[in-house]
Amino acid sequence: MDLLKNKILSEGIALSDNVLKVDKFLNHQIDPELMVEIGKEFHARFKDDKITKVLTLESSGIAPAVMTALNFNVPAVFARKRKSLTFTNDLLSAQVFSYTKQETNMISVSNQFIQPGDNILIIDDFLANGEAAGALISIVEQAEANVAGLGIVIEKSFQSGASILKNRNYRVESLARIKSLTDGTITFAEDTE
Ligand code: G4P
Ligand code: NA
Ligand code: NA
């Protein structure tokens, strides 16, 4: 998606070899017009899939997820991050391991919002090692719903998440795929890579 790639090149900062800062339009300040276009693009890619809900993880996934859901005319649901492991039987939960923080956190969705028979499009802002995506998939499957695919705003193709998900036969549609952030330079992967 050229609009997004140009935004990443003009406003993104390669903070290190593996972290891209996009606080100007995605992770802190949000560009609404870009979010509208992102929603249209995910809709175009999954329009034949009979999506019944969009699922994301708070907080940065919410803006692209809502704009996507608007185009499908379905609700957007966001998993909440929970600090306690307290068991409650109306929650679908899964663990997310954070490499940067070296800790495991629970995320949860009320079972009233994902039901058997739902066809779920998972949206997230970043795909790095696939921990958050894997947890969202687990929640959908616990609900006996179907994962139609994953829509990712920015995939870091040099990390393991995209290949793990594709090896598990999930459809991954990433709007920008970053091959490298080495030496402060942002390099995109070709569509064939
Ligand atoms: P890691 O795999 O790179 O170690 O990331 P980790 O799971 O620890 O995720 C920490 C947060 O960082 C996640 O957001 C994730 O989406 C985000 N993230 C991962 N790689 C990048 C990156 O290169 N740039 C930016 N800007 N974010 C990245 P989160 O904690 O769920 O926060 P939020 O959704 O509230 O923003
Ligand atoms: Na984030
Ligand atoms: Na995120």
DSSP 17-49: SS-EE-TTTTSSS--HHHHHHHHHHHHHHHTTS
pLDDT at 190: 87
Question: What separation in Å is there between the alpha carbon of 127 and the centre of ligand 2?
Answer: 10
Burial of 116: CB neighbours in 10 Å, binned 0-12, 13-18, 19+: exposed
| Protein residue whose Cα sits closest to atom 17 of ligand 1 | 126
C-alpha 27 chain-centroid distance: 13
Q: 45 is written with which tokens?
A: 């890619």
| Protein residue whose Cα sits closest to atom 26 of ligand 1 | 21
- Per-residue pLDDT tens over the stretch 24-62: 999 999 999 999 999 999 999 999 999 999 999 999 999
32-179 adopts what CATH topology? Answer: Rossmann fold (3.40.50)
Q: Is 22 in the pocket of ligand 1 (CB under 6 A)?
A: yes
Question: What separation in Å is there between the alpha carbon of 144 and the centre of ligand 3?
Answer: 24
| The amino acid at 171 | R
- Determine phi and psi for 175, rounding to 5 degrees: -80, -25
List Cβ neighbours of 49 (8 Å cut-off, separation of 6 or more): 119, 121, 148, 149
ipTM exceeds 0.95, yes or no = no
| 65 marked among binding-site residues | no
Reported confidence tier of residue 191, pLDDT bands at 50, 70, 90: confident
Tell me the domain boundaries of the chain.
Answer: 32-179
Q: 161 is written with which tokens?
A: 């998440």
The helix/strand/coil state of 101 is coil
| 105 marked among binding-site residues | no
Q: Which ligand is nearest to the CA of 59?
A: 1
Reported confidence tier of residue 161, pLDDT bands at 50, 70, 90: very high
Would you put residue 151 in left (φ > 0), alpha (ψ -120 to 50) or beta?
beta
CB-based contact 114:143 (threshold 8 Å): yes
Q: Beta 172-180 vs 187-188: how paired, if at all?
A: antiparallel
Q: How far is Cα 178 from Cα 80, in angstroms, rounded to an integer?
A: 27
- Per-residue pLDDT tens over the stretch 42-51: 999 999 999 9
